[in-house]
């Protein structure tokens, strides 16, 4: 069938817009409304299976990215080793050879990439891919030879070095790819390299989807379970050999306990109202959300799809800050956290001494807060309250002139110096430098928890919380004495998540010291 324009009702982008509209129309919830994302108790079977998937796994994107780095480093090292042990040139010529080795290794990886040798199916079929591998390596060397000719440096380069590097590089690639193929098969068996998925929706559509996935020879999807609100007569307890583990509400808790990569909605596109209802509940999870499209007669534009083998899936939501973005953000956190410690250690020592000698009790206050994917973490702060009046739950918010706060604590809170120990949470990997602020698990606006005030509040936890954030530098910090304040904070946090970049993080980090000068709401 020819490609056709997507009808509005079935446009994934339109679905995302409709979910956003639903959130905007009803941002607050009445006290008597049920919370779609409230914590529920998992049944024993679902909990047992979720605990089996707690171990870390690595996506194919991460594996192939690391392989590119490995092959660049290895090919560059081979070129340098031949230079040192065979050519042994002087300093000036050594620099020339090192430059050629770096350029040749980079060109080789680029051509190998263009030849699709870093795709998982290609890595699995190592013997079959040898001709393509050698062809790509040969093309890179031919290109490098032309470059040496045009730059008039060919006469300065040893021909033996050039040929020897090609031969040893080719031998390395052949042997290494055999080892990688063996490792990928092993990682696929033990779960190190897989994409873990749960299916929302049961019955015949789920059965057809599972069978289609199982027929794919290079399938890297592991189905962890099926969740459906429908009863036994419409959605059996076992579908294609996989158990139905509970309701959609239980799916949210399951995905928070296990390390899930993908959530596949197995419903026909005609069930738009049901799909939108599911998305309104499930978008708070930090996972890729896909809509099964294998059984639909409509054919959309190729960019609308992601595929598992030949099984098409419509992309609805992507996990924020995933794969190499998460590596870049973690490196950003470590570098700037260490820099902050180097610059601010006198402030740390001064604050610690001031807390210690002005009131009895510990220097550091620990408080349980919501972390990434709603996990509970323990956040560090300089103690700002009298030890016998502290409130670890933050059920009673600090107000202006609060008698629980010490004189030193009042200054620490206004200047946000009390938050500095959270840099150690960043180094531990529990927080990021920039992200939505972590709130105490019992924090309230008046007599209601934040989750009872803001629809989709837990969507803030799709990324790691931060020491500073977009909401804070826009003035939304300090006491929350009105529902709108937590509502606006959440909107700013969601904007940050949906528009994240390292440059955005750097902007927020740079503006933070200047915006902290505004202490209007900080008590």
Across the chain, mean pLDDT equals 82
* pLDDT reported for residue 391: 66
Burial class (CB within 10 angstroms; exposed 0-12, middle 13-18, buried 19+) of 192: middle
Encode burial over 236-263: b for 16+ CB neighbours within 10 A, e otherwise: beebbebebbbbbbbbbbbbbbbbbbbb
Contact criterion met (CB below 8 Å) for 93 and 156: yes
In this predicted structure, the answer to whether residue 443 has a pLDDT above a threshold of 80 is no
* pLDDT at site 405: 82
Mean pLDDT of 286-313: 70
Q: Is 383 helix (H, G, I), strand (E, B) or coil?
A: coil
**In this predicted model, what pLDDT tens digit does every residue of 331-357 receive, in sequence order?**
999 999 999 999 999 999 999 999 988
Summarize the confidence of residues 133-149 as an average pLDDT.
89
Range(s) for CATH 3.40.50.720 in the chain? 8-34+194-317
pLDDT at 396: 63
Among 4, 18, 468, which Cα is nearest to 283's? Answer: 18
Pairing mode, strands 195-200 and 238-239: unpaired
Residue range 8-34+194-317, CATH number: 3.40.50.720
Could you read off the pLDDT of 378-430 as tens digits, one per residue?
999 998 888 777 666 666 666 676 788 888 888 888 888 889 999 999 999 99
| Residue bearing the bigger pLDDT, 304 or 504 | 504
Q: Which tens digit of pLDDT belongs to each residue from 164-214?
A: 999 999 999 999 999 999 998 888 777 777 888 899 888 888 888 888 888
CA distance 21 to 24: 5
> Model pTM?
0.78
Report which of residues 70 and 481 the model is more confident about.
70
Model confidence pLDDT, tens digit, residues 456-502: 778 888 899 999 989 888 877 766 666 777 788 888 899 999 899 99
pLDDT at 317: 85
Report whether pLDDT(448) > 90: no
- pLDDT at position 452 is 67
């Amino acid at each position: 069938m020819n490609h056709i324009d997507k009808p509005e009702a079935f446009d994934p982008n339109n679905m995302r817009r409709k979910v956003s509209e639903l959130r905007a129309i009803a941002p607050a919830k009445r006290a008597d409304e049920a919370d779609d994302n409230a914590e529920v108790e998992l049944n024993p079977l679902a909990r047992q299976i979720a605990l089996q998937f707690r171990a870390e796994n690595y996506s194919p994107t991460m594996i192939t990215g690391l392989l590119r780095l490995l092959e660049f480093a290895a090919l560059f090292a081979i070129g340098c080793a031949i230079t040192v042990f065979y050519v042994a040139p002087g300093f000036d010529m050594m620099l020339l050879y090192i430059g050629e080795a770096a350029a040749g290794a980079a060109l080789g990886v680029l051509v190998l990439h263009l030849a699709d040798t870093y795709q998982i199916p290609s890595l699995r079929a190592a013997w079959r891919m040898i001709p393509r591998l050698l062809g790509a390596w040969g093309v890179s060397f031919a290109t490098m030879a032309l470059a040496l000719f045009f730059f008039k440096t060919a006469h300065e380069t040893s021909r033996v070095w050039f040929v020897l590097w090609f031969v040893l590089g080719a031998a390395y690639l052949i042997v290494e790819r055999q080892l990688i193929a063996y490792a990928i098969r092993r990682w696929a068996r033990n779960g190190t390299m897989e994409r873990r998925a749960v299916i929302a929706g049961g019955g015949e559509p789920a059965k057809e989807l599972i069978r289609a996935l199982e027929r794919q020879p290079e399938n890297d999807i592991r189905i962890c379970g099926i969740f459906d609100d429908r009863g036994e007569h419409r959605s059996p307890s076992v579908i294609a050999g996989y158990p139905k583990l509970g309701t959609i509400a239980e799916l949210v808790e399951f995905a928070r306990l296990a390390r899930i990569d993908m959530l596949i909605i197995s419903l026909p596109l005609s069930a738009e109202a049901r799909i939108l209802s599911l998305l309104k509940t499930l978008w708070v999870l930090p996972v890729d959300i896909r809509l099964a499209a294998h059984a639909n007669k409509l054919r959309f534009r190729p960019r609308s799809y992601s595929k598992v083998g030949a099984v098409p899936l419509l992309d609805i939501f992507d996990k924020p800050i995933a794969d190499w973005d998460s590596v870049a953000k973690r490196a950003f956190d470590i570098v700037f956290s260490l820099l902050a410690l180097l610059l601010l250690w006198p402030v740390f020592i001064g604050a610690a001494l001031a807390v210690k000698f002005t009131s009895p009790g510990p220097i550091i206050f620990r408080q349980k807060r919501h972390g990434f994917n709603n996990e509970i973490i323990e956040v560090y702060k300089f103690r700002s309250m009298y030890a016998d009046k502290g409130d670890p739950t933050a059920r009673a918010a600090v107000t202006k002139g609060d008698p629980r706060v010490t004189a030193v604590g009042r200054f620490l809170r206004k200047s946000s110096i009390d938050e500095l120990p959270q840099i150690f949470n960043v180094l531990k990997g529990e927080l990021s430098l920039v992200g939505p602020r972590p709130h105490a698990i019992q924090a309230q606006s008046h007599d209601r928890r934040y989750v009872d005030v803001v629809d989709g509040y837990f969507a803030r936890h799709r990324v790691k919380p931060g020491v500073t954030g977009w909401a804070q530098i826009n003035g939304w910090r300090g006491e929350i004495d009105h529902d709108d304040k937590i509502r606006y904070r959440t909107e700013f946090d969601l904007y940050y998540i949906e528009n994240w970049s390292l440059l955005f993080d750097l902007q927020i980090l740079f503006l933070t010291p200047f915006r902290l000068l505004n202490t209007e709401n900080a008590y």
